[in-house]
Chain A
């Protein structure tokens, strides 16, 4: 990445594609790799059927192709080890991407900040970074991972099996008295429901930071 200045966990890049006729399409993608990997940037792209950008990135982009990137962007939805904790991360689907950068950054720096991830996916097959999360949670260094599967579950599933709600956040999250930093990323409906529930549980709104995907248009 020529000229890449380094990023902070939680930041995104804008990817711009230009067609032969000059038509341009631009989308924002969160960076999933930690700032500590200085020579690379990982993006998590979910292919949206009928999308303008994601089918190209997933199906056609080949190694060695060049992309127009702008970034890193953003200074609000970020978390550094220095920010401290406890840290509550709540993700829906590919909303895991910027939170993964935070988790990986935490590991790279050897931080033991108490961190809990509550991750909503439709099915076990759709859990992004599932194996890596299992491995990192197994280190017992203060990271705990909780899954909820909203659409289908394996027969022996013992985790949550519904959309994230206030009761789930009360069980998984830190009590407001511990003043956790709460970072929420996912589809707009999930983010709105989670942010509202966290405030109802007593977390100050300024401790609840959100990143909505919205209608991506792919």
Chain B
């Protein structure tokens, strides 16, 4: 099985991200620190092996790591150096946009 077979969409990380963030994060947009591409996290590439302790989000355009979320040992650790910024719709906007 090659690596592309293990790829998911960022949508599938919404569960673990929901344990950390108040907002629904698959609809949040982020800017890749490597290529500058801007896209919703739900559309990025996700690697989350069935027994992995965490999730690795990679930029769908350049494949660099955007974010790593690990839940282990009673703590969550977020690695965010691959994102220049994150932007989430507030409750009003989230209810109106698709």
Name A's B-contacting residues (CB within 8 A). Answer: 12, 14, 25, 28, 52, 70-71, 73-80, 82-83, 181, 188-189, 192, 206, 209-217
Contacts and interface: CB of A to CB of B under 8 A. Distances in A.
16 contacts: A14-B15, A74-B11, A76-B11, A76-B40, A76-B41, A79-B98, A188-B4, A188-B6, A188-B7, A188-B8, A209-B43, A211-B11, A212-B7, A212-B8, A214-B5, A214-B12
A206 B61 CA distance: 12
Interface in B68-98: 94, 96, 98
A212 B10 CA distance: 9
B56 interface: no
Interface of B: 1, 4-12, 14-15, 18, 24, 26-27, 39-43, 50, 94, 96, 98
A159 to B, nearest CB: 28
Nearest to B98: A83
Given A206-B39, A209-B43, A215-B1, A77 B26 contact: yes
B11 A215 contact: no
A135 B12 CA distance: 32
Contacts of B7: 188, 192, 212, 214
B26 to A, nearest CB: 4
Given A73-B26, A75-B24, 10 more contacts: A12-B12, A71-B15, A74-B42, A75-B14, A76-B9, A188-B4, A188-B5, A192-B4, A214-B12, A215-B5
Contact of B12 (A28, A80, A206, A209): A28
Contacts of B94: 75
Most chain A CB within 10 A, of B7, B9, B26, is at B9
A75 B39 CA distance: 13
Given A78-B98, A209-B43, A215-B1, A73 B15 contact: yes
Given A75-B24, A80-B98, A70 B15 contact: yes
Nearest to B88: A75
The 10 closest A-B pairs by CB, nearest first: A76-B42, A75-B27, A217-B50, A83-B98, A75-B24, A76-B26, A214-B8, A73-B14, A14-B15, A74-B14
Tell me the interface secondary structure of chain A in the complex.
mixed
Given A73-B18, A76-B41, A80-B98, A189 B5 contact: yes
A20 to B, nearest CB: 19
Contacts of A214: 5-8, 12
Contacts of A82: 96, 98
Contacts of A216: 50
A212 B9 contact: yes
Nearest to A213: B8
B81 to A, nearest CB: 23
